[in-house]
Amino acid sequence: MTDLETRPAPTPSALRRAAPALLGYAAVRALGLLTLTLWSAARDKSAYTLLTARWDSLWYTRVAELGYGYEVRLPNGDVHSNLAFFPLLPWLERGLAAISPLSYADAGFVVSLLASLAAAWGIFAVADHVYGRRAGVCAVLVWALLPVGIVQSMAYSESLFTALAAWSLYAVLTGRWVLAGALASLAGLTRPVGLAVVAAVWVTAIASFVRDRNAARADSTPALTPAPVLPRALGMLLAPLGAAGYVLWVGHRTGKGPLGYLDVQAGWRNGFDGGYAFARFVGEKFASFPSALAGVGLIIGVGLVVWLYVICVRQRQPLPLLVYAGVVTALALCASSYFGSKPRLLLPAFPLLFPLALALARLRTSRSVLVVGGIALASAVYGAFWLNGSGPP
């Protein structure tokens, strides 16, 4: 099913339909957290600290506690400003901490856990709508099984963003344009890659306008009743407000105009260079034999991502999914810094996993259980090893 159509909004019966996916997701994530806890204890570390008070988690909690304006000046002259971090997660941390005894870090962990379940449900809703229930369950499991899936349980913004993106895409697929635009706007307040959700809403809306116009010119009756123009236009208007509002506010605060946010990112040595820096980084791995193996692994990884996207196109995924996954992938692979973060940056690109989900769905249940169980254990071990080592920068 690839056409946009209207379906009932999620209801208790819809939640029951998604229950196997959510229970499977919770089981995989529980295994990951248990493995992390045991691994960290063996190394005399706190698993909870790794999940809530390291790396980006600290930056988010500082925004929640102190607001914007905090920065770190490095010896090489770089300036790391917390203006690089979009505000929705810190707002939620501050709000939850204000109405509960939770600390900001605790609130971030709770928000992440709840958002990860909402993301799993959203991924199921999208895959179920396009391919059916079994594929929806498998899509959620594949997303949970990713080697970097432990990030879904961290006080990071990936789970929150994925939840907003998935439900916005579902709203587009089911013709709820105003809801899609509102969720896209919130996604734009969560991460810079919110542009991918905005693009999905805009491109799909424009394509629907063109389709309706062509149908009218041909004096034929469309297979589906076209949506009213006003909701689509309003959805398009709402979609970019979150990202645009924050970026413009940063530009005003820094006094550098509408593109001030790019200067903030430059302070982190981050930007968009079409993948040149990443290609150079991979090429440098071949300077010696041991690192050449890592270079080969990186090439294989990028090739796998591109191959999955090509399969998505060949399987004729709905337009909003292709646009969204394409933009997320391009922004992740073509960022000019933090190369170790690229797997994490690709985490929200869940439509790329649908070909794998369809393959898993074709297996017999007994075999799929064995496959999921084995990969879940390997993913849990890798996640524990990763967070106790270099971790997600």
What span, in angstroms and rounded, lies between the C-alpha atoms of 340 and 54?
Answer: 16
What span, in angstroms and rounded, lies between the C-alpha atoms of 333 and 342?
Answer: 7
In terms of residues, how long is the chain? 393
pLDDT at 124: 98
What span, in angstroms and rounded, lies between the C-alpha atoms of 186 and 88?
Answer: 7
pLDDT at 222: 47
Against a cut of 0.95, is the pTM above it? Answer: no
pLDDT at 220: 52
Instruction: Classify each residue of 222-258 as buried b or exposed e, where b means 16 or more C-beta atoms within 10 Å of its C-beta.
Output: eeeebbeeebbeebbebbbbbbbebbeebbeeeeeee
- Listed in sequence order, the DSSP H helices in the chain are 12-42, 47-52, 56-66, 88-98, 104-131, 133-144, 158-173, 177-188, 194-217, 229-238, 241-254, 260-267, 276-284, 289-314, 319-333, 342-345, 354-362, 365-387
Q: Which of 139, 206, 148, 147 is nearest to 166 (CA)?
A: 139
Tokens of 217: 């010119």
Q: Which of 375, 376, 322, 317 is nearest to 349 (CA)?
A: 322
pLDDT at 11: 60
| Residues paired with 71 in a beta bridge | 81
Q: CB-side exposure of 273: number of CA atoms within 13 Å?
A: 17
What span, in angstroms and rounded, lies between the C-alpha atoms of 257 and 260?
Answer: 5
The series of mean pLDDT values per 10 residues for the chain, 393 residues long, is: 49 86 97 97 94 92 94 87 96 97 96 97 97 96 96 96 98 96 98 97 94 72 59 96 96 89 88 80 77 83 94 96 97 82 93 97 93 96 92 70
| Residues paired with 272 in a beta bridge | 335
pLDDT at 74: 87
Amino acid at 129: H
335 by DSSP, 3-state: which? Answer: strand
Q: Which of 163, 196, 198 is nearest to 88 (CA)?
A: 163
- Residue pair 159/152 in contact (Cβ under 8 Å)? The answer is yes
Q: Tens digit of pLDDT for each residue in 316-333?
A: 999 999 999 999 999 999
Please state the separation of Cα 231 from the chain's center in Å.
Answer: 26
